[in-house]
């Protein structure tokens, strides 16, 4: 994909217009929008064929880099990374607003190691205070959650929390740290795992024990529909206006007390019709999903913790087909993908493994996994490309060096951090 896009640009490079005098990120020619013409100008500048004025150069320099004080800014050089980000915005793979992302300021950690049925808590960590080693970077138990909080997503000043044992979707106003409304009950024994938020005013919540996705109206708090999917759904994410739900095919035989896994699948749901429009076969025990910079869906298939090692399957949401597979091995869990396409996997058994999200080549296999000194239950990347992990048995969130696993910073949490979100 990247090679094709660059080939198109090189073929059309002579057609580029003259730059304007605006500094809106990505709008190199100053015409008020981000188009392929802007990418061509950035390409010509990166090759030294033209000299951009200061405003146009600032508009073209969109690849994020970490600064000494943690703020986002360009690196002062227009290169292929800048060209690719402008081109991605021009063709709709990323939003124009992502060309100038705001530096993250907070980490939210869900703490679920409590007596079964007891409420969990959420910790709030000030990123800059954590990175600089200042005391008091964390509020370890900032607000209460339901029992076994399994996922948190932050949209603006609102957090959406899936509480698995409480069977609720909890909506929290982060300005007041109070529930914005009573928790939304999803049904007895539903065991909700993750939710997708496609932006249509609904949440699509995977219900592990009922083989359904609950469609929740976020304004009214009403479960308006229940969509039948595969067996034991867990992961959920929105991409290109659709919802992707992973079905683990988990089966427990009480007579033999044995757990088995059938064929892993991903259900593709059209929110407009509330129908499953396609079912894709993936690896064993697919549990987690994330999106890469190209807009593709990466599915972490944990395996059966024995004879079937884990893998990552990649779905192109434009055609809803599996277009790649990463034989990462081990027991992969959540995936964090940085802005420049580096993918890191939290593996509770091995540590942190990694692969290149563009080439799908494994870069850190399980036998060389990064050891962070604790059990990694979640992993996230911020807009700077920094990596954070939740260490469940250490009650810590850590920032780690992506090549060696060295701990660069840490902050305390409540008991048993198991899911993270970055704001």
Predicted confidence (pLDDT) per residue in 329-388, tens digit: 999 999 999 988 999 999 999 999 999 999 999 999 999 999 999 999 999 999 878 999
| Distance, C-alpha 155 to centroid of its chain | 13
pLDDT computed for residue 64 by the predictor: 63
pLDDT computed for residue 183 by the predictor: 98
SS3 labels along 63-130: CCEECCCCCEECCCCCCHHHHHHHHHHHCCCCCHHHHCCCCCCEEEEEECCCCCCCCCEEEEEEHHHH
Spatial distance between the Cα atoms of 419 and 423, rounded to a whole number of angstroms: 14
Residue 408 has pLDDT above 70, yes or no: yes
Residue 72 has pLDDT above 70, yes or no: no
Token pair recorded at residue 171: 């909506």
pLDDT computed for residue 46 by the predictor: 86
Q: Which residues contact 106 (CB under 8 A, 6 or more apart)?
A: 124, 125, 126, 127, 422, 423
Residue, of 215 and 55, whose pLDDT is higher: 215
Average pLDDT, the chain: 90
Token pair recorded at residue 106: 């907070």
pLDDT computed for residue 102 by the predictor: 63
Look at residues 189, 185, 114, 192 and name the one whose alpha carbon lies nearest to residue 151. Answer: 192
pLDDT tens digit sequence for 9-52: 444 443 343 444 445 788 998 888 899 999 899 899 888 889 88
Q: Give me the torsion for CA of 366, 371, 375, 380, rounded to 10°.
A: -80
Token pair recorded at residue 369: 């996994």
Spatial distance between the Cα atoms of 412 and 420, rounded to a whole number of angstroms: 13
Q: Which residues contact 306 (CB under 8 A, 6 or more apart)?
A: none
Residue 2 has pLDDT above 80, yes or no: no
pLDDT computed for residue 126 by the predictor: 97
Mean of the pLDDT values across residues 40-65?
A: 83
Spatial distance between the Cα atoms of 99 and 38, rounded to a whole number of angstroms: 13
pLDDT tens digit sequence for 87-145: 888 888 877 877 766 678 999 999 999 888 899 999 999 999 999 999 999 999 999 99
Domains (ranges, CATH) in the chain?
A: 2-99 (no CATH), 106-422 (2.130.10.10)
pLDDT computed for residue 112 by the predictor: 95
pTM for the whole structure: 0.81
Residue 67 has pLDDT above 70, yes or no: no
pLDDT tens digit sequence for 18-28: 444 445 788 99
Token pair recorded at residue 246: 């992973």
pLDDT computed for residue 220 by the predictor: 97
pLDDT computed for residue 23 by the predictor: 59
pLDDT category at 422 given cuts 50, 70, 90 is very high
Q: What percent of the chain has pLDDT over 90?
A: 71
pLDDT tens digit sequence for 265-305: 999 999 999 999 999 999 999 999 999 988 999 999 999 99
pLDDT tens digit sequence for 183-198: 999 999 999 999 999 9
pLDDT computed for residue 19 by the predictor: 42
CB 260 within 8 A of CB 306: no
pLDDT computed for residue 293 by the predictor: 86
Q: What percent of the chain has pLDDT over 70?
A: 91
Look at residues 160, 299, 285, 191 and name the one whose alpha carbon lies nearest to residue 236. Answer: 299
Mean of the pLDDT values across residues 398-413?
A: 97
pLDDT computed for residue 138 by the predictor: 97
Neighbours of 133 (CB within 10 A): 11
């Amino acid at each position: 994909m990247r090679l094709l896009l660059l080939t198109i640009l090189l073929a059309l490079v002579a057609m580029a217009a003259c730059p304007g005098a605006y500094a809106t990120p990505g709008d190199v020619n100053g015409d008020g929008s981000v188009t392929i013409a802007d990418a061509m100008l950035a390409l010509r500048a990166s090759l030294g064929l033209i000299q951009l004025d200061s405003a146009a150069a600032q508009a073209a320099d969109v690849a994020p880099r970490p600064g000494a004080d943690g703020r986002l800014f360009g690196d002062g050089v227009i290169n292929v990374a800048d060209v690719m980000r402008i081109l991605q915005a021009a063709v709709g793979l990323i939003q124009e607003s992502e060309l100038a992302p705001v530096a993250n300021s907070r980490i939210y950690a869900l703490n679920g190691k409590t007596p079964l049925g007891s409420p969990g808590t959420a910790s709030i960590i000030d990123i800059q205070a954590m990175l600089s080693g200042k005391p008091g970077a964390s509020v370890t138990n900032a607000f209460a959650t339901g029992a076994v909080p399994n996922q948190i997503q932050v949209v603006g000043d609102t957090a959406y929390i899936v509480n698995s044992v409480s069977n609720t979707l909890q909506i929290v106003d982060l300005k007041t740290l109070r529930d914005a409304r009573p928790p939304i009950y999803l049904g007895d024994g539903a065991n909700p795992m993750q939710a997708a938020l496609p932006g249509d005013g609904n949440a699509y919540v995977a219900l592990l024990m009922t083989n359904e996705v609950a469609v929740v109206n976020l304004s009214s708090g009403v479960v308006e529909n229940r969509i039948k999917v595969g067996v034991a759904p867990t992961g959920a994410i929105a991409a290109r206006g659709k919802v992707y739900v992973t079905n683990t095919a988990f089966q427990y035989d009480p007579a033999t007390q044995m757990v088995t896994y059938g064929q892993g699948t991903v259900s593709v749901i059209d929110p407009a019709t509330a129908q499953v429009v396609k079912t894709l076969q993936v690896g064993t025990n697919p549990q987690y999903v994330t999106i890469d910079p190209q807009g593709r869906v990466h599915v972490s298939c944990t395996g059966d913790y024995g004879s079937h090692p884990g893998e990552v399957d990649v779905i192109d949401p434009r055609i809803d087909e599996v277009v790649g597979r990463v034989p990462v091995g081990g027991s992969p869990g959540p995936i964090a993908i940085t802005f420049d396409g580096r993918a890191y996997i939290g593996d509770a058994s091995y540590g942190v493994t990694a692969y290149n999200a563009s080439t799908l080549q494994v870069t850190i296999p399980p036998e060389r996994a990064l050891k962070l000194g604790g059990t990694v239950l979640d992993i996230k990347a911020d807009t700077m490309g920094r990596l954070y992990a939740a260490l469940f048995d250490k009650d810590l969130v850590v920032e780690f060096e992506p090549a060696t696993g060295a701990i660069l910073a840490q902050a305390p949490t409540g008991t048993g951090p198991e899911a993270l979100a970055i704001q």
